[in-house]
């Protein structure tokens, strides 16, 4: 089976594809710690970052990833573009495609927008988060971080807590972890739990306490106020009391369990500051991994022919 041309979600990707991206990311991780953080791997290649939604981590790390690979990187600001004059997504991407990019990295508020674009362009498309559907590079960087900090990816017990229904991070994490035999538990307020838990292959747990019992990894998620629509929580204080992770509750997990959060965090809501900044936290490791993993993804999408990714 040939490798998928795009990275939209994990459809068509197997365990070996994921491991190959993580292994390339290991080589690139070291590049970012050198005094000169640049390799010529993607010299002459062009990457366009097209973000219709706000982002700090994903947008910056894709930009750094492209630049550290020596690609020409264009960050298109949607707010200052002809999108504001009413140009459609289809016309926007066909216009960008006419400038011959090798990769379009895109984030969009509508689930499926990157699939729509992938059908209309010849270049590779990388999904940097679409609506409530998928965020595959987040799942890859989480896997990279887990493999480094826990020492393995196989057969883990992972709890994902919070607004699961609106979380593309939870969906992509569940999809990837399933390839490695994980038991994935989810918990959160009933209105924010997924209707398709069985299809996702996750176990719905009634309380944070039951979800945390004996886990190797806990991923805390932000309440996504921007996607809640009519769904309302009684109060953030109540939410924090019921589903907020603190040091005492973390004691229910396996000794040495890893605490993850994709960011941005609401400190004091889903995670206490002492846990967010404590020794179990992998939050900043995740951010650092984001650059290496996105270098590996861009290399896979645009870097055919280069043998050693970190030296090419």
The CB-of-263 to ligand CP minimum distance in angstroms stands at 5
Q: Which is nearer to ligand CP, 101 or 262 (CB)?
A: 262
Clarify whether 107 is annotated catalytic.
Answer: yes
Output phi, psi for 167, to 5 deg. -100, 110
Work out which of 41, 49, 58, 145 binds ligand CP, going by CB under 6 A. Answer: 58
> Which one is catalytic: 41, 58, 132, 187?
58
Clarify whether 68 is annotated catalytic.
Answer: no
- Give the whole-angstrom CA distance, residue 169 versus residue 134: 6
138 interacts with ligand CP by CB under 6 A: yes
Clarify whether 231 is annotated catalytic.
Answer: no
Note the Cα 272 to chain centre separation in Å: 22
57 interacts with ligand CP by CB under 6 A: yes
Clarify whether 135 is annotated catalytic.
Answer: yes
Q: Which is nearer to ligand CP, 127 or 138 (CB)?
A: 138
263 interacts with ligand CP by CB under 6 A: yes
Task: Name the one range near ligand CP by CB under 6 A: 50-58, 97-105, 158-166, 276-284.
Answer: 50-58
- Give the whole-angstrom CA distance, residue 49 versus residue 175: 25
C-alpha to C-alpha distances, 174 to 18, 98, 170, 243, nearest whole angstrom: 14, 36, 6, 20
The conformational region for residue 268 under phi > 0 = left, psi -120 to 50 = alpha, else beta, is: left
Query: Do the beta carbons of residue 51 and residue 59 sit within 8 Å?
Result: yes
Clarify whether 46 is annotated catalytic.
Answer: no
Beta strands in the chain (DSSP E): 46-51, 72-77, 103-108, 124-130, 157-161, 183-187, 203-204, 217-220, 258-260
Task: Name the one range near ligand CP by CB under 6 A: 56-64, 203-211, 215-223, 241-249.
Answer: 56-64
Stretch (H or E) spanning 210: helix 208-212
CA-based radius of gyration for the chain = 19
Task: Name the one range near ligand CP by CB under 6 A: 41-49, 52-60, 195-203, 236-244.
Answer: 52-60
The CB-of-58 to ligand CP minimum distance in angstroms stands at 3
Q: With contacts defined by CB under 6 A, how many residues of the chain interact with ligand CP?
A: 9
The CB-of-249 to ligand CP minimum distance in angstroms stands at 23
Active centre residues (catalytic): 57-58, 85, 107, 135
Site residues (vs ligand CP, CB under 6 A): 55-58, 129, 138, 262-264
């Amino acid at each position: 089976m040939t490798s998928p041309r795009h990275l939209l979600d994990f459809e068509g990707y197997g365990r070996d594809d994921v491991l190959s991206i993580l292994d390339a990311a290991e080589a690139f991780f070291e590049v970012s710690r050198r005094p000169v953080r640049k390799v010529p791997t993607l010299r002459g290649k062009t990457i366009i970052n097209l973000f219709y939604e706000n982002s700090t981590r994903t947008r910056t790390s894709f930009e750094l990833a492209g630049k550290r690979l020596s690609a020409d990187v264009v960050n298109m600001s949607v707010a200052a573009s002809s999108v504001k004059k009413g140009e459609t997504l289809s016309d926007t991407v066909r216009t960008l495609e006419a400038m011959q990019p090798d990769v379009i990295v895109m984030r969009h508020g509508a689930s499926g927008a990157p699939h729509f674009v992938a059908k209309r362009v010849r270049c590779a498309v990388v999904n940097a988060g679409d609506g409530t559907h998928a965020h595959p590079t987040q799942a890859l960087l989480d896997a990279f971080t887990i493999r480094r900090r826990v020492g393995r990816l196989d057969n883990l017990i992972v709890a994902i807590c919070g607004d699961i229904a609106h979380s593309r991070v939870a969906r992509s994490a569940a999809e990837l972890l399933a390839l490695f035999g994980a038991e994935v538990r989810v918990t959160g307020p009933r209105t924010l739990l997924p209707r398709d838990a069985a299809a996702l292959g996750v176990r719905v747990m009634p309380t944070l306490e039951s979800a945390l019992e004996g886990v190797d990894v806990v991923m805390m998620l932000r309440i996504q106020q921007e996607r809640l629509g009519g769904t309302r929580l009684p109060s953030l204080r109540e939410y924090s009391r019921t589903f907020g992770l603190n040091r005492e509750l973390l004691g229910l997990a396996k000794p040495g369990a890893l605490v993850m959060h994709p960011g941005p965090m609401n400190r004091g809501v889903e995670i206490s500051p002492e846990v967010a900044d404590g020794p179990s936290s992998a939050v900043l490791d995740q951010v650092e991994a984001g650059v290496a993993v996105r270098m590996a993804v861009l290399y896979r999408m645009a870097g055919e022919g280069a043998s050693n990714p970190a030296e090419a």
